[in-house]
Every structure is written in structure tokens, then in C-alpha cells.
Structure 1
Amino acid sequence: MAELETYKGYYLWRYVPSLAAAVIFLILFLLATLFHSWKIWKTRTVFCIVFAIGGLFEVIGFGARASAHSRTGSVLTFSIQNVFILLGPTLFAATVYMTLGRIIRSIRAEQSSVVRVDWLTKIFVTGDVLSFLLQGTGAGIMATGSNASLGQDITMVGLVVQVVMFILFIITAIIFQVRMHRYPTRQAFDIDLPWKKHLYTLYAVSSLILVRSIFRVVEYAMGQDGYPLTHEWTLYIFDAVLMFGAMVIYGVFFPSELRVERPKSVESGGMALGGAEGV
């Protein structure tokens, strides 16, 4: 029977992680990641590769968590599961940010964006990268055991950055939608460009990631002896289930229909024609 072990006299875990739960979510995330990879390959929607990598992070994380069931004293196993489960949703977020930019460009609605479209993705992805680095650094420090408190603080700052960026992102998307209802473009009525469906998909996925990030902030704010870090079910309900749901929603309503048009120069007339680009 698995028992709690120490690493240099320090308990990495506050409970013996469930093998069954870890294996179940390992399989679920693996299936979701394979589905996303197939959709990316079939539709050549290259920018969604980041989302699939996020799914792979979840697979690695829960695989390590399953291994940790009988190796609670292994700092390497603890570190791998902690880092990869923590960072997977950050890659989901990056894809969500890029998708909004593609929605705006696909219906030629740049004038309705609060932020210049050229900067829209850059601003939010930069914030996401900052969040990624802070969370990764904090998770790495926590794995050493001796500086767990510092690692938690750094990770929490990274999660707060993610929460703030998501709130700003959702506000930006809502303002864009309101403006589009008032001043729609001609492309907005194209039945082959269901931009509203993809916008609502972003709202749903963003909300799930936001709730998960808020939970993680609360988790680390309460410390090692707080309820979330001493009760495993909270991780599965407020993180694993939500992130699997995000993968399912984004996979079902995959943004392969969004095609960004860029002007092509015409030698004879020097005019610009819209050419659809299938990425």
C-alpha cells in the first residue's frame, strides 16, 4: 500500500495522490490531444498547435501524477506533475488570444477592435508568456522543498497576471462584439464565416480557464496547509475537469473556418485583391 514519503525530511505531498484519478485524466487528455492534433493536421490550422501542446503538457503532468502514487518522496516526479499541470492552461490561453485576432481579421472588422489588431495578440500573448515564466519559475522553486513558500508566492503572482489578462481579454472581446452589432462589416454576414460561434467559444473556454486560475490563486494563497493543497478532489474539480472541458469545447467548435485574407498585388493594374490564406 502506498504511503507518504519524505524528501530530505520534507513532505512534498499532503496526501497520497490517487492513481485511478490520475490515470483517468491521463487517458482523457491524451484522447483530447490526439483529437486536436488530428483536426490541426486535417484542416492545416497551424496556429492551434500551441493548444495541442498544452494538451500534451496535461498528459505528461497526469502521467507523472500517476507515477507519484507510489513515489511520493521523488522530487523529480513531484516537479514534473506540478509544472506541466500548472502550465498547460497557459498554452490554451495563448491560442485563445490568437483566435480573437483571427476572428477580427477574417471579417475585416479591425476598426471595431479596442486595441489595434496588430498589437492585440502581441499584448495578450506577451502577458501570457510572462505568466508562463513566473508560474514555471515558481513551480521549479517549489520542487526544491526548502523554498516552497517563495515558489508559491512567485507562482501566485504568475496566476494573478493570467487572471488580470483574461479579464481584460474578455472585456476586449465583449466591446468588439457590441461594436460589431452596431456597425457590422459586409463579411460579418458571410454564412461561411460563423464568427459569432467562435466568439462564444472563446467566452466559454476563457471562462473555464479564468475560474481555474482563480482557484489556483486561492490554492496558493491559503498555503501548504490550506484546504485545497491538502484535499486532492479540489484539483480535479477546479482544474482537471475544467481544462478537459475547455479542450472538448475548443475541439468541437474548432476555428478552422477562420481564414485571414491578405491583399495580393496585381501586376497589371497595381490593385489589391483579397486572397484567402488557408492557415
Structure 2
Amino acid sequence: MLLARMVYYYIPSHSLFRIQASTFALTFVSLDFVSFVIQLVGGSMAPPGAPHDEVMRGIHVYMGGIGMQEAFIVFFVVLVVQFHTRMLQLERNGTLKNLGREPAWRSLLYTMYASLVLITIRIIFRLTEFSAGEDPSNPLPFHEIYFYAFEAVPMFVALTIMSVAHPGKVLKGPASDMPQNVIIRKMKCCGRRSKAGDDEMGKPILLEDSR
């Protein structure tokens, strides 16, 4: 969502690779939701006390969801690097100055890079933790210090730096209010039309009437 707003705020075309900024948030939230569902399915396949083979199948499904999440992050990094390149070009040719945009875009961008690195550390830890299953020779699932060091701390730092370099300090003015995605607007429009219709006498009838 932050990348989408930065693209809309800074890039005159409001797009990267001909992809509109309003599409970014919907796309990546949807992809993240898919990976979360796969992780949830994998976790449900490995309940406590289940046979070893069943537990390993569940762990492999869960790891597949985690790996998918990292693949989405790699694709996202490509977009971030492209945004970085475009911003340097706009800065060199004076476009940013002419638009009167805040020069502090680097702080937000570097915060995003740092957050992606910290999230990747957490994902690598998860993949490493479950790669050997529940074998006692694998100390990661049995010692909380690893969880705190490689998951809790990175996520806490990511939240902290995003709070310090808050987007609201940089993205100011009307351009910071990005319009809704075209798909969402159409869904809302169709939803409003479906709530009420006209009967033969021209009186409104509620299509939601369940009684």
C-alpha cells in the first residue's frame, strides 16, 4: 500500500511497468492472502499427535505457502527497484522540484527496503525451522530464543522504523489521497444498484428482503 501511494504521489504517470498504482495494493494483498490460506491449510494438516507422515505433509504445505510469500516479495522488490530508478531520473531532470514534492522520498524508500529485509529474515527462519520437521536434532522448534531473535525482533524493528519514518510525514496534500481501484469502484457501484430496484408501479423494492 505504501508503494502504491508513493507511485501515485511522485510518478506523473501514476504507474510502473504500465501497472496503475491503484492496482498494487489490491494485487499484493490478494497474493499475500493466498499464501496465508496455504499456510493455514498446512498448519491444520499437522495437529499435535498426528502421525509423522501426516505432520510432514502439513509442514511441506506450510513451507510452500511461506516460499510463495517470499516469491511475491522478490517480485515486489523488482517494482521497488524500478520505482527507485524512476525517482532518480525525475530528480535529475527537475520534475520533482517542479511538482513541489517533498524531497524526503528516500527515507520512505529505505524504510521499505529495510522492512523487506527484515521480513525476509523471518521467512528464512521459518523455512529453516521446519525444514527438518520435528526431529529433536533440530533445535529451532524447541528453543524460544531462536523465535525471539529471528522472528519477534525483526518484526518489532520493522514496525518501529515504519512508525519513525511514518508515511504521513512525507506524503502530504491532495495527491497523497489515492483514488480507489477501478475494480473496487465497480463492485461498490454494482452493490449500490443491487440494493434497490423498481417494481411495476415505480416504487422502490429492496432486493435484500430475506423475509
Give the TM-score, by structure 1 length: 0.53
Task: Answer with 1 or 2: which has the greater Rg.
Answer: 2
User: In the alignment, what sits opposite 1:260?
Assistant: 177
Work out the CA distance in 2 between the residues paired with 1:187 and 1:105.
16
Q: Secondary structure of 1:143's match?
A: coil
User: In the alignment, what sits opposite 2:5?
Assistant: 102
User: In the alignment, what sits opposite 1:222?
Assistant: 132
User: In the alignment, what sits opposite 1:233?
Assistant: 145
Pairwise CA distance, 1:246: 0.9
Residues 77-135 of structure 1 deviation map (CA, whole Å, 9 limit, x = unaligned)? xxxxxxxxxxxxxxxxxxxxx11001111124446623512332233222211111111
Q: What code does the residue aligned with 1:214 have?
A: I
Q: What code does the residue aligned with 1:149 have?
A: M
Does residue 249 (structure 1) correspond to residue 153 (structure 2)? The answer is no
Residues 174-216 of structure 1 deviation map (CA, whole Å, 9 limit, x = unaligned)? 1211122123443686464632211111111111001110111
Q: What code does the residue aligned with 1:174 have?
A: V
What is the root-mean-square deviation of aligned Cα atoms in Å? Answer: 2.3
Sequence identity, in percent? 30
Pairwise CA distance, 1:140: 2.7
Stretch moving more, 105-114 or 250-259: 105-114
Match of 1:205 among 115, 140, 146: 115
Does residue 124 (structure 1) correspond to residue 28 (structure 2)? The answer is yes
Work out the CA distance in 1 between the residues paired with 2:77 and 2:98.
20
Pairwise CA distance, 1:238: 0.6
The ranges of structure 1 where at least 4 consecutive aligned residues each deviate by more than 6 angstroms after the TM superposition are none
Work out the CA distance in 2 between the residues paired with 1:160 and 1:140.
18
User: In the alignment, what sits opposite 1:114?
Assistant: 17
Q: What code does the residue aligned with 1:134 have?
A: I
Within 5 A, what are the aligned runs for 1:79-228?
Answer: 98-110=1-13, 113-114=16-17, 116=19, 117-146=21-50, 147-184=54-91, 185-186=95-96, 190=100, 192=102, 194-225=104-135, 226-228=138-140
* Aligned CA distance change for structure 1 residues 228 and 149 (closer, same or farther; 3 Å): same
Q: What code does the residue aligned with 1:131 have?
A: S
* Aligned CA distance change for structure 1 residues 234 and 188 (closer, same or farther; 3 Å): farther
Pairwise CA distance, 1:150: 2.2
Work out the CA distance in 2 between the residues paired with 1:103 and 1:211.
25
User: In the alignment, what sits opposite 1:13?
Assistant: none
Pairwise CA distance, 1:156: 0.4
Q: What code does the residue aligned with 1:211 have?
A: I
Pairwise CA distance, 1:162: 0.9
Residues 47-102 of structure 1 deviation map (CA, whole Å, 9 limit, x = unaligned)? xxxxxxxxxxxxxxxxxxxxxxxxxxxxxxxxxxxxxxxxxxxxxxxxxxx11001
Native 8 Å contact 2:8 2:15 kept in 1: no
* Aligned CA distance change for structure 1 residues 109 and 173 (closer, same or farther; 3 Å): farther
* Aligned CA distance change for structure 1 residues 110 and 213 (closer, same or farther; 3 Å): farther
Work out the CA distance in 1 between the residues paired with 2:82 and 2:117.
16
Work out the CA distance in 1 between the residues paired with 2:11 and 2:97.
7
Residues 198-248 of structure 1 deviation map (CA, whole Å, 9 limit, x = unaligned)? 111111111100111011111111211123123322111110111111111
